[in-house]
Amino acid sequence: MSIISTDISKAVELLNNEELVAIPTETVYGLAGNIFSEKAVKAIFETKERPFFNPLIVHIPNINYLDTIVETIPEKAKLLAEAFWPGPITLVLKKKSIIPDLITGGKDTVAVRVPNHPLTLDLLGKLDFPLAAPSANPFNRISPTKAEHVESYFKDKIKMVLDGGACKSGIESTIIGFENGEPIIYRLGSTPIEAIEAVVGTIEVKNKKEVAPDAPGMLERHYAPKTKTILTSHLKEAVEANKNLRIGLLTYNDILNDDAIHFKIVLSEGKNLEEAASKLYDALHQLDQQDLDLIIAERLPDYGLGKSINDRLTRATKS
Ligand code: AMP
Ligand code: MG
């Protein structure tokens, strides 16, 4: 029997019973549990096979809830929350002591956001606790943007995926921390830098392993298909050089045709970065099922969401 369902009251019941439910958000599906239940939070790590030192994002129903879980809110954090919530920005702030160490990997900060999905906002409104929810995929694998992706990963491990359709943004939230009150981007994501800078001014990006070692979204290999994947700005040459292999192509809008190409996905014929982001992970899931020797991905323009997509594709190519 399928675990996919739209029954919110069943999701409420399971979560109240310290069980996990996969939930839809505007970014990707999350594997959710009560942040105050040690049993539920441990089950999140075990189900994902995620190392315990990797902290989880806490999902709250609205901006007013922030005071319950964080100690202090820098002025620019308030500006960002007001500008973008509900929406795909996660703020890393000094935590209150009620937040369990298991959620934060022992850190004194907690990552928090208000997700922008009607079903999940409705669900959060019906619960007495926030939800810890990392992406609903096994550690390091491609993030799920459809209920079916979660089902194929976890049908034997969880009881329910709350079906909210395909995720609109399609890549994870942008993560922002604070150093001396100034915002720093720790992970590129669904909210483009340009939109953030319009609110808080020029912002530094520190998303490399060397400066942010214990953040899973920053691990060199992440978001990865099982099939070997390369990223290039020169599609034609890359296809030419690999003609002996069974090739799959992931392009932005290029309509390159070549007999050597076995399977091809164009992310946005009209060159729309939002469309490309929303289709990215589903495209990788599909390519990974074609029994290919090699996926050749085209580098996107390096601005707006193009930067975030290139970040994910780069990590997908690392072995
Ligand atoms: P995921 O939910 O799988 O998209 O991953 C959660 C992301 O939030 C990871 O990149 C975490 O490292 C990051 N994160 C969560 N809590 C913290 C924290 N306290 N400090 C820094 N990064 C965090
Ligand atoms: Mg993840």
Domain containing residue 19: CATH number: 3.90.870.10
Lowest mean pLDDT among 207-216, 275-284, 287-296: 207-216
Q: Which of 172, 205, 238 is at the close of a domain? A: 205
Strands 21-23 and 30-34: antiparallel
Is the distance from the beta carbon of residue 216 to the nearest atom of ligand 1 less than 6 Å?
yes
User: Which tops the pLDDT comparison, 116 or 51?
Assistant: 116
pLDDT given at position 210:
55
Q: Which of 269, 287, 267, 266 is nearest to 277 (CA)?
A: 267
**Same domain as 242, residue 121:** no
In a domain, 213, yes or no: no
**Same domain as 137, residue 17:** yes
The residue whose C-alpha atom lies closest to atom 11 belonging to ligand 1 is 215
pLDDT given at position 271:
96
Is the distance from the beta carbon of residue 27 to the nearest atom of ligand 1 less than 6 Å?
no
* Ligand 1 centroid – CA 274 distance (Å): 23
* Mutation pick for ligand 1 pocket among 53, 131, 175, 311 (CB with most ligand atoms within 8 Å): 175
Global pTM reads 0.94
In a domain, 39, yes or no: yes
Atom of ligand 1 nearest to the CA of 104: 19
What is the average per-residue pLDDT within 126-152?
96
Is the distance from the beta carbon of residue 134 to the nearest atom of ligand 1 less than 6 Å?
yes
Is pLDDT at 140 greater than 90 in this prediction? Answer: no
pLDDT bin (cut points 50, 70, 90) of residue 215 is: low
* Ligand 1 centroid – CA 187 distance (Å): 9
Is the distance from the beta carbon of residue 196 to the nearest atom of ligand 1 less than 6 Å?
no
Is the distance from the beta carbon of residue 107 to the nearest atom of ligand 1 less than 6 Å?
yes
Q: Alpha carbon of 211 to those of 24, 92, 217, 317: distances in Å?
A: 31, 15, 13, 21
In a domain, 218, yes or no: no
Contact indicator for 171, 280 with CB cutoff of 8 Å = yes
Is pLDDT at 216 greater than 60 in this prediction? Answer: no
In a domain, 312, yes or no: yes
In a domain, 217, yes or no: no
**Same domain as 67, residue 198:** yes
Give how many domains the chain has, as a whole number: 2
In a domain, 281, yes or no: yes
Is the distance from the beta carbon of residue 55 to the nearest atom of ligand 1 less than 6 Å?
yes
* Ligand 1 centroid – CA 40 distance (Å): 18
The residue whose C-alpha atom lies closest to atom 12 belonging to ligand 1 is 215
Which residues are CB-contacts of 38 (< 8 A; sequence separation ≥ 6)? 100, 102
pLDDT given at position 174:
97
**Same domain as 195, residue 119:** yes
* Mutation pick for ligand 1 pocket among 54, 179, 184 (CB with most ligand atoms within 8 Å): 54
pLDDT bin (cut points 50, 70, 90) of residue 219 is: low
**Same domain as 144, residue 258:** no
**Same domain as 297, residue 192:** no
* Ligand 2 centroid – CA 118 distance (Å): 21
pLDDT given at position 213:
43
For residue 282, what is the domain's CATH number?
Answer: 3.40.50.11030
Strands 261-266 and 131-132: unpaired
Lowest mean pLDDT among 164-178, 183-197, 206-220, 282-296: 206-220
**Same domain as 242, residue 143:** no
Is the distance from the beta carbon of residue 103 to the nearest atom of ligand 1 less than 6 Å?
no
Is the distance from the beta carbon of residue 109 to the nearest atom of ligand 1 less than 6 Å?
yes
Strands 182-187 and 294-298: unpaired
Q: What is the rounded distance in angstroms from the CA atom of residue 68 to the CA atom of residue 133?
A: 18
In a domain, 122, yes or no: yes
Q: Which of 151, 173, 205 is at the close of a domain? A: 205
Is the distance from the beta carbon of residue 311 to the nearest atom of ligand 1 less than 6 Å?
no
Is the distance from the beta carbon of residue 187 to the nearest atom of ligand 1 less than 6 Å?
yes
244-266 confidence digits (pLDDT tens): 999 999 999 987 888 889 999 99
Residue range(s) defining the domain that contains residue 171? 4-205
Is the distance from the beta carbon of residue 265 to the nearest atom of ligand 1 less than 6 Å?
no
pLDDT bin (cut points 50, 70, 90) of residue 182 is: very high
Strands 109-113 and 131-132: unpaired
64-92 confidence digits (pLDDT tens): 999 999 999 999 999 999 999 999 999 99
SS (HEC) of the chain: CCCEECCHHHHHHHHHCCCCEEECCCCCCEEEEECCCHHHHHHHHHHHCCCCCCCCEEECCCHHHHHHHECCCCHHHHHHHHHHCCCCEEEEEEECCCCCHHHHCCCCEEEEECCCCHHHHHHHHCCCCCEECCECCCCCECCCCCHHHHHHHHCCCCCCEECCCCCCCCCCCEEEEEECCEEEEEECCCCCHHHHHHHHCCCEECCCCCCCCCCHHHCCCCCECCCCEEEECCHHHHHHHCCCCCEEEEECCCCCCCCCEEEEEECCCCCCHHHHHHHHHHHHHHHHCCCCCEEEEECCCCCCHHHHHHHHHHHHHCC
Q: Which ligand places an atom closest to the C-alpha of 211?
A: 1
Is pLDDT at 217 greater than 70 in this prediction? Answer: no
**Same domain as 257, residue 128:** no
**Same domain as 132, residue 266:** no
Which residues are CB-contacts of 65 (< 8 A; sequence separation ≥ 6)? 114, 130
14-53 confidence digits (pLDDT tens): 999 999 999 999 999 999 999 999 999 999 999 999 989 8
**Same domain as 64, residue 183:** yes
The pair of three-digit structure tokens given for residue 93, joined into one six-digit string: 């702030």
Phi-psi region of 130 (alpha: psi -120 to 50; beta: other; left: phi over 0): beta
**Same domain as 169, residue 283:** no
In a domain, 275, yes or no: yes
Mean pLDDT for the chain overall: 94
Phi-psi region of 182 (alpha: psi -120 to 50; beta: other; left: phi over 0): beta
Cα distance between the two ends of the chain:
36
**Same domain as 245, residue 201:** no
